[in-house]
Amino acid sequence: MPLGTLLIERKLLTEDQLEAALVRQKLTGGLLGDNLIALGYISRVELEAFLHEPPQIPKSIQETGLGNQFLINSVLKTIYLTNVETIPEISDHIKLFPSIIETVLQTAKKDGLVEVRGAVGTNSNLLRHGLTNLGKQWALDGLRQCQYAGPAPVPLADYIGQVQKQATVNERINSAVLTKSFSHLVLPDYIPRRLGPAINSGRSILIYGGSGNGKTCISEGIGASFEHSIYIPHCIEVDGQIIRIFDSALHRVVASPAKQREETSLLPFRQEEFDPRWVRCRRPVIITGGELTLEMLDLDFDPISKYYEAPLQVKAVGGVFVIDDFGRQLVRPRDLLNRWIIPLEKRVDYLTLHTGKKFEVPFDELVIFSTNLDPAELSDPAFLRRIQYKIRVDPPTVDDYKTIFQRMCAVYRLELSDDVLSWMWDKFYGETGTPVAAFHPRFIVEHSLASCAFDSVPPRLTLDLVKDAVENLVIRDRPGGKDHQSKGYRTPEDDEAPSPMRTTSREVYQDIEQRLSHDSSPTK
């Protein structure tokens, strides 16, 4: 549901005002909220209060957006699988208000599906509920259709509306925030300066350059620069199907100060600040690398449990989605890029249920493509045009390299001598032609410490240890031969150039043809 429609439903805006703001947005650009404020239709305080408003707790079945039959099946499956008996226990498991559970149980009792089995101890107000034989049969039938029995889902429309309110572009990042996020890195001044507008635009970013210069660390720093919390549902419901979104392995939960309260088994319902079907989290930062396939971008249906796991880009909604080592995936880069054309341009994605139903979901996330390959070899101009921000990460300068080396030595309380720095620049880089990279100081320090540990000597950084460490940065073709060095980019010529150690494909085919011509006589 678009932001303007949400504001109209809350009576914070009229349809005429929305139309005027949309016309102004087409002419001047910018966010819809900024245009509404410029026209005087809403104040910034009112808009901010609305955007930061958490999902409201539903107090009735109608407010949940779920059907009565759906809720009955959910309650029956929960009682059958978890052996919970009381309304507070069922309420806590399904994450719905006790009055809703009570209404559902009353309907189930009338249908002969649930029966009351007495009070809990001496508390006559807290009753135990159990399934009748018919109720058990209903629960089993429900489990055959879908084995999900966790927190109640959120309707697709409610999910879309909440995503619109907590969009990444609604959180503005300034230079002070970026400086803090990148304080652990040594970067040239132009990178934060160029990243700031790119982040605030919400558009995709291409970060490219040679290996080992901090592209992945920069991507992680971008994710850390967001400070607002967002709300992620445990799962959503689409056409009667369950799609699980919240993932404890990927989403960082933000605890609420209101959780500092006493909880007892007699508490009828925890006084939540928001709809407990949602989880308050940091904006997610999801990084995927060479393992990414096209199938991972579609719904994952489990034929046994009969519910779905949301794809990675859906779990990253409201945050940052990093495609690391772009171009090294099992899928061809062009096929992957074609999959992203509509989402990147229209800010929506389309998913398909196993029933064939296709539906639209928001694609509100900052997508970062990170690669050490030549971008021109990975995509065509049409796709590069859709990536509006392209930032090259260059190798560190002499001063930056020295700062990185000093920081690494300070971490391990090592002394960095001028002899080491001079030898690295004049001898190692100068004579071997090895490209300078920001990861080299850490690499050298860690290898030197490993050598010290092996020799059972105190940690130190000597020139001999450094010389030994950098031997792991180069590959010798043969004794006395040249070192194999990276060009920074792999080009098609690298793959097609014949090796002196092997026969080329053309020579192999010529040899086969000659042999076939000699063996072409009729078989006796």
Tens-place pLDDT, residues 343-352: 888 889 999 9
Confidence of residue 500 (pLDDT cuts 50, 70, 90): very low
Element (H, E) at 407: helix 398-411
Residues 39 and 95 in one domain: no
Confidence of residue 268 (pLDDT cuts 50, 70, 90): very low
Distances (CA, A) of 61 to 69, 147, 220: 11, 22, 41
Q: What is the percentage of the chain residues whose pLDDT exceeds 90?
A: 58
Q: How far apart are CA 490 and CA 372, in angstroms?
A: 8
Residue whose entry in the numeric block shows the structure tokens 């990927």: 250
Within a domain: 341: yes
Of the candidates 283, 50, 245, the one whose C-alpha atom is nearest the C-alpha of residue 153 is: 245
Q: What is the percentage of the chain residues whose pLDDT exceeds 70?
A: 87
Give the mean pLDDT of 45-66.
Answer: 92
Within a domain: 493: no
Within a domain: 511: no
Of the candidates 257, 261, 299, 312, the one whose C-alpha atom is nearest the C-alpha of residue 280 is: 257
- Domains held by the chain: number: 4
DSSP string spanning 287-324? EE-TT--GGGGS-EE-TTT--EE--HHHHTTTSEEEET
Are 144 and 307 in contact by the 8 Å Cβ rule? The answer is: no
Within a domain: 96: yes
Residue 406 has pLDDT above 90, yes or no: yes
* Mean pLDDT across the chain: 85
Q: Which two tokens stand for residue 436?
A: 């300078």
Task: Output the 3-class SS for 51-75.
Answer: HCCCCCCCCCHHHHCCCHHHHHHHH
Residues 417 and 379 in one domain: no
Residues 328 and 347 in one domain: yes
Q: By residue range, what is the domain housing residue 38?
A: 3-51
Give the mean pLDDT of 498-522.
Answer: 42
Residues 199 and 322 in one domain: yes
Which of 125, 150, 175 terminates a domain? The answer is 150
Are 272 and 280 in contact by the 8 Å Cβ rule? The answer is: no
Residues 218 and 321 in one domain: yes
Residues 334 and 302 in one domain: yes
Residues 76 and 176 in one domain: no
Q: Which long-range contacts (CB under 8 A, 24 or more apart) does 57-64 make?
A: 57/97, 57/272, 57/274, 57/275, 57/276, 58/96, 58/97, 58/100, 58/275, 59/97, 59/99, 59/100, 60/99, 60/100, 60/103, 61/100, 61/103, 61/104, 64/96, 64/100, 64/152
Q: How far apart are CA 441 and CA 466, in angstroms?
A: 10
Within a domain: 75: yes
Residues 241 and 340 in one domain: yes
Residue 121 has pLDDT above 90, yes or no: no
- How confident is the model over 415-435, as pLDDT tens digits? 999 999 999 988 899 888 889
Residues 386 and 419 in one domain: no
**DSSP designation for 100:** H
Residues 144 and 168 in one domain: no
Task: Output the 3-class SS for 212-258.
Answer: CCCHHHHHHHHHHCCCCEEEEECEEEECCEEEECCCCCCCCECCCHH
The identity of residue 47, as a single letter, is L
How much is the pLDDT for 29?
81
Residues 314 and 438 in one domain: no
Confidence of residue 258 (pLDDT cuts 50, 70, 90): low
Within a domain: 491: no
Paired strand residues for 361: 349
Confidence of residue 342 (pLDDT cuts 50, 70, 90): confident
